[in-house]
């Protein structure tokens, strides 16, 4: 079995290697994800930011009729992101599935 190194830790090619980047607003999650992408790693951006950039607005009140749609799109997109990593690949995620 061939192993990959990521600045020290040993990564096995037979496992999924998913790393979730978390933190408060403005803590540098997106900047870190963008830096990892420039280094050639597979990254998955924050889907809510992508949706907002495309014009879909988050609900003002969490119990509005639109809130279910917005949050369902986020959840299903994060699940799809999670399923895209193949065995042996390394993936970095800007936030995870709650």
Answer whether residue 67 shows pLDDT above 80.
no
pTM for the model stands at 0.63
Listed as own residue / partner, the contacts of 12-16 with beta carbons closer than 8 Å and 24 or more positions apart are: 12/88, 13/87, 13/88, 14/87, 14/88, 15/87, 15/88, 16/85, 16/87, 16/89, 16/91
**DSSP structure class, residue 12:** E
End-to-end alpha carbon distance in the chain: 33
Q: What residues pair up with 91 in beta bridges, in sequence order?
A: 18, 42
What mean pLDDT, rounded, does the chain reach? 75
Answer whether residue 14 shows pLDDT above 80.
no
Mean pLDDT (whole number) for 18-41: 88
């Amino acid at each position: 079995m061939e192993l990959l190194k990521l600045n020290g830790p040993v990564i096995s090619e037979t496992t999924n290697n998913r790393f979730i980047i978390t933190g408060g607003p403005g803590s540098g999650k997106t900047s870190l994800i963008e830096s990892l992408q420039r280094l050639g790693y597979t990254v998955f951006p924050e889907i809510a930011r992508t949706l907002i950039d495309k014009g879909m607005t988050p609900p003002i009140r969490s119990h509005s009729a639109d809130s279910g749609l917005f949050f369902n799109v986020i959840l299903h997109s994060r699940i799809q992101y999670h399923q895209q990593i193949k065995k042996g690949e390394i993936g970095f995620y800007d936030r995870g599935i709650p």
